């Protein structure tokens, strides 16, 4: 079996992480893969905010939990959050950002890291506090949060779910 297909089949969303830092060079490799995601008309419009600062990571987690009406850690203890955002004025922005998220998660798995797509980046980055964070980072324009890709060392190894039947229809 092709190594890429095997890796795609083996990747899982992990919801338990070790309390152990991730080397910056691994994070950079994951980000690089995200930057190579396809995008509509080759615009390359999505951006990634790499959060490794624990205090900011915890603020993002708390804001994300508040959107759900809770107070737990929706980032499951992962030490790294890669927030993918895309400009709202690009017609394909949601799709483009989703492809970045996919590349991030698949690259993480290939490097031995665990990942999971955590929603509510849109709601969190629509808040003034996090719009200001983007401005402070030098991000200009109207960006929408597409997803939070959490990264870290897995504290569990989830079993795959069987693939559902009747999901492919051939029109020959």
Question: What's the pLDDT at 160?
Answer: 84
Does residue 161 form part of some domain? no
Residue 63 lies in a domain: yes
Write the CA distances from 82 to 30, 31, 41, 60, 146, integer angstroms.
9, 8, 24, 11, 11
Q: What is the pLDDT along the chain (172 residues), one digit of tens a residue?
A: 699 999 999 999 999 999 999 999 999 999 999 999 999 999 999 999 999 999 999 999 999 999 999 999 999 999 999 999 999 999 999 999 999 999 999 999 999 999 999 999 999 999 999 999 999 999 999 999 999 999 999 999 888 889 999 999 999 9
Backbone angles phi, psi at 122, to 5 degrees: -60, -50
Q: Is 1 inside any structural domain?
A: no
In the chain the first and final C-alpha atoms are separated, in Å, by 26
In a domain, 69, yes or no: yes
Distance CA 97, CA 129 (A): 22
CATH number for the domain spanning 63: value is 3.40.109.10
Residue at 4 is within a domain: no
Task: Give me the sheet containing 80-87, strands edge to edge.
Answer: 47-51, 80-87, 143-152, 114-118
Helices (H), 1-143: 3-10, 24-35, 54-68, 93-110, 121-125, 128-136
What is the pLDDT at residue 98? Answer: 98
pLDDT given at position 107: 98
- 58 within some domain: yes
- What total of structural domains would you count in the chain? 1
| Residue 97 confidence (pLDDT) | 98
Report the alpha-carbon distance of residue 22 to residue 18 in Å, rounded: 10
Domain that holds residue 93: 10-152
Cα 47 to the center of its chain, rounded Å: 11
Residue 165 domain-assigned (yes or no): no
Residue 164 located in a structural domain: no
Is residue 108 within 8 Å of 50, Cβ to Cβ?
no
């Amino acid at each position: 079996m092709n190594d890429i297909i095997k890796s795609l089949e083996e990747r899982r969303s992990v919801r338990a992480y070790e309390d152990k830092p991730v080397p910056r060079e691994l994070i950079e490799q994951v980000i690089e893969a995200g930057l190579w995601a396809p995008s509509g008309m080759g615009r390359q419009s999505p951006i990634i905010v790499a959060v490794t600062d624990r205090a900011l990571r915890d603020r993002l987690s708390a804001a994300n939990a508040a959107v759900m009406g809770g107070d737990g850690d929706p980032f499951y203890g992962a030490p790294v959050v890669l927030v993918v955002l895309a400009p709202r004025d690009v017609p394909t922005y949601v799709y483009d950002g989703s492809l970045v998220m996919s590349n991030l998660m698949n690259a993480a798995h290939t490097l031995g890291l665990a990942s999971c797509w955590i929603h509510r980046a849109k709601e969190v980055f629509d808040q003034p506090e996090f719009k200001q964070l983007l401005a402070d980072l030098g991000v200009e324009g109207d960006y929408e949060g597409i997803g939070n890709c959490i990264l870290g060392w897995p504290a569990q190894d989830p079993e795959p779910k069987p693939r559902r039947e009747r999901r492919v229809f051939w029109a020959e």
